[in-house]
Amino acid sequence: MALGMGLFSLLDQKSSTGAWVGFQVLAAIGSGFIVTSTLPAAQAALSEADVAISTATWAFCRAFGAVWGVSIPAAIFNNRFAAHVSAQKDLGLATQVLQNTGNPYQQASREFVMQFSPEVQSIIIEAYTAALQRVWQISVVFAGLDFLFAWLEKEVELRTTLETEYGPEEKEASPEGGDLTVPK
């Protein structure tokens, strides 16, 4: 995932379609590994009685993390966008852009950018590029820290047997060949 985020930070307004599609595939593979492996890792050290609670806690933490995973990048994006536009030499153009964008993270669309003159469009595109690059750079830091913290995790063997009060009960094999009975 850190690799995908790092590659995203290399993208700019002149990047080829092949580059951004390839980078998205790499980032998706990294994200897919994380999504599918965190719940079993969280449940490995717990008893079967705690599986439901751990699943609910895991879902809550993922949802809570998603809120921060949107809020923090949006704040970084908006601040970086405003700083980039404010640094323009033509303060009249900068003021026009800032007054019309309000919340640039929310306004990020081709239709929005195309409503301005070509001169203002180039300022907006440069600001969007700089803001996105900063978001990806900070994402690399978070993903890198996650990678390092993963090495601090205690290794726990996954269970191969169940110790639960649910499911079929085992009994001695009968001559008819059945060895399981369902509780009544």
pLDDT of residue 46: 86
The answer to whether residue 177 sits within a structural domain is: no
d(CA 48, CA 179): 24
Q: Is the pLDDT of residue 5 over 80?
A: yes
3-state secondary structure of 177: coil
pLDDT at res. 25: 93
Average confidence score pLDDT of the chain: 82
Domain count, the chain: 1
Segment 100-124 shows an average pLDDT of: 79
Q: Is the entire prediction scored with pTM above 0.85? A: no
pLDDT at 34 over 70: yes
Range of the domain at 122: 2-153
Residue 133 located in a structural domain:
yes
51-86 helix and 118-150 helix, angle to the nearest 10 degrees:
140
pLDDT at 135 (0 to 100): 94
Domain assignment present for 178: no
Q: Are 115 and 65 in contact (CB under 8 A)?
A: no
| Domain-embedded: residue 42 | yes
Report the C-alpha gap between 84 and 158 in whole angstroms.
50
The answer to whether residue 165 sits within a structural domain is: no
